[in-house]
Amino acid sequence: MKQGKLRVLLGAAPGVGKTYTMLEEGRRLKAAGRDVVIAVVETHGRAATRAMTLGIETVPRRVVEHRGVELTEMDLDAVLARSPAVALVDELAHTNAPGGRHEKRWRDVDTLLDAGIDVITTVNIQHIESLNDVVQQITGAPQRETVPDAVLRSADQIEVVDLAPQALRDRLSEGLVYPAARIDAALSNYFRLGNLTALRELALLWLADEVDSALQRYRAEHGIGAKWEARERVVVALTGGREGETLLRRGARIAARSAGGALMAVHVVSQDGLRGPDPGALAEQRALVETLGGSYHQIVGDDIPRALVEFARSANATQLVIGVSRRSRLAALLTGPGIGATVIRESGDIDVHIVNHAAAGGRLALPKARGSLTLRRRILGFALALAGGPLLTWLLASFRSDDSITSDVLSYQLLTVVVALVGGIWPALFAAVLSGLTLDYFFVDPLYTITVSEPLHLLALGLYVVIAVLVSIVVDQAARRTRAARRSAAESELVASIAGEVLRGDDPIDALVSRTREAFSLDAVQLTVDGRVVASAGEVPAGGEASADGEAPADRGREGARSDLVPVDDDSVLALHGPPLPSSDRRLLGVIVSQLATALEQADLEERASEVAPLAAADRVRSALLAAVGHDLRRPLAAASAAVSGLRLQGASLSQEDRDELLDTAETGLASLASLLTDLLDVSRVQAGALAVRAEDIDVEDVVPGVLDELDLGPEGVDLDLPASLPAVRADPVLLGRVLVNLLLNALRYSPSGQRVVIAASAFGDTVQLRVVDRGPGIDPDRREDVFLPFQRLGDTDNLTGLGLGLALSKGFVEGMDGTLEVEETPGGGTTMVVTLPVAEHAEMNEGQR
């Protein structure tokens, strides 16, 4: 049976129009004569979406009872029995109720496709398996329903149904996405402008990556090796040298010349791992690649030019950037064309840019000759030449004949090769000369004389020497590579061990000092900061303590031991007690020292932060208190004093009405003064961290009535939107009541006449949000954080305003209960204060799935 085709409509968020677009396409196909049915569509109460279903046959849903609730699901068997040409299946990530054929709806879709039915379906970006954790980091909402990437990538067609983030928020505000009761919570949580922008970018990037993968698959299936310049793809070859930064910036400029250009950096590692680039330089260049918006790749290959070109072709690259060779002119002359020339020859239709840089070779210099064989092997080579030469001469002389000269020559040549393999170049040269002289003396006429009568004899001696040199070079290179490989493996193992010790240990400084002593077999290691020992490993020899003046005392420990001071930073010194380190160990020591410097800097920053934070907070409180107390406390005190003075001086001549007014003024002033002093004491406790919080599991609907009674507010003054399914929160009921009182007083004060204040609650993730909504003038976005500062009233000057501590106290109370208090703009004008508190028991919410 012919397999059905899958078409996926991908959206960045709910409400962008995926279902509407699916139904619109269904109507178009039906008008074109295709047999189209609605297998399942979720309208979510949207009138426009419901209207689009009219005129398309709908397969009745299957009714399932689960935990006492009747649920409706897509009837897969009914759709299969109907066998339409096209089925419209909404919400691909949906989890079916128990009792169906499959647990997931995407498996139902697979069954429809196997039956030859074309399917058009919808899915949101947050439901893609590989992006699930990324979306949770962006939105804060965990997604329980996901679709494997392989299911989507196997689709015949994927389309993004796109809508600008602000346009989606406008649709939400107009009630076109969610019911009115859910609008405020959705706008402030999942549908924040930043969230929607990030989700939109994520959807477009995922589709772009899928398009690129589809292009690569098409090229592979059709054997297309030539580049397709759909967009510029620039590959920069990195060697690990200091020229890498220059090459990367040049490659980034080339990629930037065309919109959508891609930058890729590649480093080729030999299969034996012996080509050792500077790991620090490569790490810096990798970070630079990411800063420039590119990607870093590392491949293995001994033939560097071929590996570079093959990678560029596999990436469909259009440009390849390499640096000018760093070899000297003599090296280039002796070894022939370098990597650049070979890359140009092999690149074909890929443009190659050879970039000059400061590290390019230009001097006519001879390479340095350095032996890699041990002294023991060289001595063994000389011994073999001295012992093997006479022994071989005795054996060959014993069996000498007129026809044995050829075997004699080859035997001495073999001796020369064996000596070269054992001892290197100098023993091999010695064996070559000795073999040539011995061969001439004992086996070439005239015998027992060193007479070279034939030029060919000189040529034979020269060939001995050449063979000895060539074999010795091969042996020397093999020994050098073996030593380098062992050294690199040991250093890598040590660095990995040190890094693991630091990650596992509680104190990275102690771990680094201890591992330094073990790595280099030292007697002791000390780290001093400003002359004070902060970490030590091993037993320091008598008189070997490190001094602050940089003087390294002589150790009195084992023979050859001494103290060596290695500066870590301006104030820190690492003292090494034991045998002196060879130069080969100094590079590894530098890595450890740099890690120590970083650990010390981190510890210093943590110490400073812990010291400065409370001082800064206390200083801000004191400054604000001094600025406000003299001005605001004087008002109620002055009013009360004036009223009492008026009664004392003119009490007899005042009417009863005037006396009552003065007494009311004094009472109001003293009451205001007492309230202000209470708030001052509360804010001081909050700032000092001495706030007593008695958190318990409470229901919000139990706290709100008491708040309304305290403010003498009835149902006619406040609208309540408290869902019955709202989970309990973990909070202090007294402090929560004071918070709501303060927020309601502010909202009532600024609300225009006739406008009602709203108290709404909703659950989001593992939190519950309480929202106090007013329709007042609102707060300037630039000053929203200022309302939570003590003694800030944003310009109010009346005597009833107080010190401006209400919101500061509310924020402190909420944070003391492990919650947050934030200011948001009310859609349509006004201010919304949002109190977020943790739920008593973590409820699995999935906001934004539908």
320: CATH: 3.40.50.620
What's the pLDDT at 57? 92
What's the pLDDT at 253? 82
Among 688, 712, 737, residue at a domain's last position: 688
- Residue 315's Cα: distance from chain center in Å? 24
What's the pLDDT at 493? 61
Do the Cβ atoms of 12 and 199 come closer than 8 Å?
yes
- If pLDDT is split at 50, 70 and 90, which confidence band does 815 have? confident
Nearest alpha carbon to residue 263 among 238, 240, 241, 280: 238
- Cα 282–286–291 angle (5° rounding)? 145
Most confident of 243-252, 532-541, 655-664, 801-810: 243-252
Residue with tokens 């005597």, as numbered in its chain = 799
- If pLDDT is split at 50, 70 and 90, which confidence band does 811 have? confident
Do the Cβ atoms of 300 and 310 come closer than 8 Å?
no
CATH number of residue 643's parent domain: 1.10.287.130
Per-residue pLDDT of 323-372, as tens digits, reads 887 655 545 554 455 677 778 887 777 888 888 766 555 443 333 434 56
Q: Which of 230 and 820 is assigned the larger pLDDT?
A: 820
- If pLDDT is split at 50, 70 and 90, which confidence band does 846 have? very low
DSSP character at residue 350? S
What's the pLDDT at 48? 86
What's the pLDDT at 532? 81
State which residues form the domain around 425: 375-454
- Would you say residue 303 lies in a domain? yes
pLDDT at position 787 over 50 = yes
- Would you say residue 779 lies in a domain? yes
- Would you say residue 267 lies in a domain? yes
Most confident of 351-360, 643-652, 736-745: 736-745
Q: Do residue 547 and residue 627 come from a single domain?
A: no
Nearest alpha carbon to residue 90 among 164, 144, 156, 161: 161
Q: Do residue 165 and residue 94 come from a single domain?
A: yes
What's the pLDDT at 317? 82
pLDDT at position 684 over 60 = no
Per-residue pLDDT of 576-613, as tens digits, reads 887 777 666 666 777 777 777 877 887 778 777 777 76
- Would you say residue 473 lies in a domain? no
Out of 221-225, 479-483, 776-780, least confident range: 221-225
pLDDT at position 543 over 60 = no
Among 688, 708, 735, residue at a domain's last position: 688
Q: Which of 628 and 839 is assigned the larger pLDDT?
A: 839
CATH number of residue 715's parent domain: 3.30.565.10
Q: Do residue 243 and residue 336 come from a single domain?
A: yes
What's the pLDDT at 655? 77
Q: Do residue 328 and residue 405 come from a single domain?
A: no
Average pLDDT (625-639) is 59
Distance CA(819)–CA(328), nearest Å, equals 67
Q: Which of 263 and 187 is assigned the larger pLDDT?
A: 263
- Would you say residue 515 lies in a domain? yes
Distance CA(672)–CA(634), nearest Å, equals 11
Q: Which of 621 and 312 is assigned the larger pLDDT?
A: 312
Amino acid at 583: S
Pairing mode, if any, of strands 262-269 and 233-238?
parallel
Q: Do residue 572 and residue 675 come from a single domain?
A: no
Question: What is the percent of the chain where pLDDT is above 70?
Answer: 72
Out of 76-90, 320-334, 821-835, least confident range: 320-334
- Please give the C-alpha separations between residue 33 and each of 3, 27, 84, 86, in angstroms, as whole numbers: 20, 10, 12, 11
Per-residue exposure over 378-395, b if at least 16 CB sit within 10 Å of its own CB, e if not? bebbbebbeebbeebbee
Per-residue pLDDT of 109-163, as tens digits, reads 999 999 999 999 999 888 888 777 777 777 777 777 888 888 888 888 888 888 8
Average pLDDT, the chain: 75
Residue with tokens 């001892």, as numbered in its chain = 423
Distance CA(340)–CA(352), nearest Å, equals 9
- Would you say residue 706 lies in a domain? yes
